[in-house]
Chains A and B, each alone.
Chain A
């Protein structure tokens, strides 16, 4: 594997014109909070609370936010690994929320997921060959054993692992190698859309770049579309064409990656950007920081109006009364009545 990822000629090349591969409309996923002997539902965790998103063919849409903002639940709801409460997930023109179990299994040939924890996401009792071969078995993607074996070897090779590792168990591998196995499993069905749920945050720092470069190379090679979920804005900015920022179950800002960094509109995005340390003492010491007060409120009882208002340095009365819609502000979509001006970032 080359150390240096190929300089990518992508972006600018018309992702704006590309066809949407996935549209999420008014998606809500609530989890019941139960109490008492009879497990009565007393409230709901509003993990995802009305999200609209479009992912275009061939792009990487980054999804950032802090823990509890609902980004992972959104990713899982899209693949229907958790059942959405309300709304539509339209994948290649088909509303996934209406599909039955058998039809959904068919759609799973075209979408895949890469998980955060490379230790938990591989069955410890299966060999690498069994793990990667399982999607091939489920979807009957071979005619004979030899074909299956060849495909497994091919997949191992493509993620940079020795094909002879086929009969090994996951615990024999390091974290980065395991993540490669997880990626090979996701690629096995030859999907066009992959949800990457924090794929590098559990890895050692010196391994992270290998996996980022691998994901980028695979995207170019197989024309993949990614929904890249992470809490680390610097990683998301590196890999994404566009970025959606989530806070307490809602998308608060959506813009092209560079735009979002250069001129954030939502105060939350601004504070998130300023909170990310930059590994350069000269830059870091001269930075203006917006330090937010307090913690993220509970998604069981989110604040009225704008959910960020309790921690926002620009909040006014209006923010408590009305929910700001996700509107276009200077080419960004931002959900804020008082977006950041030039001198505030």
Chain B
């Protein structure tokens, strides 16, 4: 790139006396929000619970190798419906599979789908919202009418419709009932709300003078959207995402429970519940344990999400 240095006026010899110190204390929006979040002990506690669950989920293979010494799918029919014991701290199911190991692997599915789905729907909703709000006109109309239609269809109905078509071959790839596909599918059905929120925020931000000022120095549209609009709508996206994880965990568990989510023998909290309902009188713990896990994860995600919202929402200041 050609750099024309000769035209830059040298600024030597200008008077050096500065106009005052800082008017207000130094703090970026992010560090300020983070400090507010840290101040919420209740929220931080459940954030910690979420972190512990996530660590367990990530290290599930290690857990099964070194703690329970059992794989989640290893069947032992001689040991079915075993009570709590040293070998099986939380007992076994009808096929003699270790419940603790299966719960740990189930955390992988639930939390994985929860966070991944939120990430995907933020990406879709954010891009659609920013571009619709920024360009306006027919593009905005087109995208927003599509969002209207999407939001008019009940999410669970849409999910059942799509997941019941699985496995679905699209070209060389076959979409199955795995966690990644489920995340994508759930994200595709729920990004509409985020897109709307983001678009609304873009409409107010884009009329502020700094957008005009940035255009006046020759910035491209892409730069305006990525460098200026995105950081300014990020708080809205964080707030939208904060309560999303809990909702998605519930939604995924519901899908598993009706048999349209993650398929056995892969363990998930939802399909463990489905499987256990036939043995409810025989072995109550098989129903209660996955239920407790779901409640704990969703509750932690929601309480922490609430704290995040309170800390990051610029309108609540």
Determine the chain B residues whose CB is within 8 A of the CB of A172 once the complex forms.
22-27
A142, B3: Cβ atoms closer than 8 Å: yes
B213, A113: Cβ atoms closer than 8 Å: yes
A121, B213: Cβ atoms closer than 8 Å: yes
A171, B24: Cβ atoms closer than 8 Å: yes
Residue in B7, B18, B26 whose CB lies within 8 Å of A160: B18
A140, B1: Cβ atoms closer than 8 Å: yes
B212 nearest CB across to chain A (Å): 6
Q: What separation, in Å, do the CA atoms of A168 and B18 have in the docked complex? A: 15
Instruction: Decide if A66 is an interface residue (CB 8 Å cutoff).
Output: no
Residue in A122, A124, A188, A210 whose CB lies within 8 Å of B217: A188
Instruction: Decide if A206 is an interface residue (CB 8 Å cutoff).
Output: no
Determine the chain A residues whose CB is within 8 A of the CB of B11 once the complex forms.
154-155, 157-158
B7, A190: Cβ atoms closer than 8 Å: yes
B19, A180: Cβ atoms closer than 8 Å: yes
Instruction: Decide if A234 is an interface residue (CB 8 Å cutoff).
Output: no
Q: What separation, in Å, do the CA atoms of A168 and B213 have in the docked complex? A: 19
Instruction: Give the contacts of B1-43 with A (CB-CB under 8 A).
Output: 1-3, 5, 7-9, 11, 14-29
A210, B210: Cβ atoms closer than 8 Å: no
A124, B18: Cβ atoms closer than 8 Å: no
B209, A117: Cβ atoms closer than 8 Å: yes
Instruction: Decide if B86 is an interface residue (CB 8 Å cutoff).
Output: no
B18, A143: Cβ atoms closer than 8 Å: no
A221, B14: Cβ atoms closer than 8 Å: yes
B217, A123: Cβ atoms closer than 8 Å: no
Chain B: which residue is nearest A163 at the CB level?
B18
Q: What separation, in Å, do the CA atoms of A222 and B9 have in the docked complex? A: 8
A168, B214: Cβ atoms closer than 8 Å: no
Instruction: Decide if A173 is an interface residue (CB 8 Å cutoff).
Output: yes
A123, B228: Cβ atoms closer than 8 Å: yes
Determine the chain A residues whose CB is within 8 A of the CB of B210 once the complex forms.
120-124
Determine the chain B residues whose CB is within 8 A of the CB of A151 once the complex forms.
8
Instruction: Decide if A125 is an interface residue (CB 8 Å cutoff).
Output: yes
Determine the chain A residues whose CB is within 8 A of the CB of B213 once the complex forms.
113, 115, 121-122, 182, 185
Q: What separation, in Å, do the CA atoms of A64 and B11 have in the docked complex? A: 32
A108, B23: Cβ atoms closer than 8 Å: no
Residue in A109, A173, A180 whose CB lies within 8 Å of B218: A109
A99 nearest CB across to chain B (Å): 12
Instruction: Decide if A318 is an interface residue (CB 8 Å cutoff).
Output: no
Instruction: Decide if A283 is an interface residue (CB 8 Å cutoff).
Output: no
A138, B219: Cβ atoms closer than 8 Å: yes
Instruction: Decide if A134 is an interface residue (CB 8 Å cutoff).
Output: yes
B212, A160: Cβ atoms closer than 8 Å: no
With A116-B209, A190-B7 in contact, is A134–B15 under 8 Å at CB?
no
Q: Contact string, A152-173, partner B, CB cutoff 8 A, digits 1/0?
A: 0011011011100100110111
B20, A177: Cβ atoms closer than 8 Å: yes
Determine the chain A residues whose CB is within 8 A of the CB of B209 once the complex forms.
115-117, 120-121
Chain B: which residue is nearest A188 at the CB level?
B217
B3, A1: Cβ atoms closer than 8 Å: no
Instruction: Decide if B85 is an interface residue (CB 8 Å cutoff).
Output: no
Q: List 11 A-B contacts (CB under 8 A).
A: A104-B218, A106-B218, A116-B209, A121-B210, A138-B220, A138-B223, A140-B3, A169-B27, A174-B20, A185-B217, A188-B217
A interface residues with partner B (beta carbon < 8 Å): 1-2, 76, 79, 81, 104-106, 108-109, 112-113, 115-117, 120-127, 134-135, 138-143, 151, 154-155, 157-158, 160-162, 165, 168-169, 171-174, 176-177, 180, 182, 185-186, 188-190, 210, 221-222
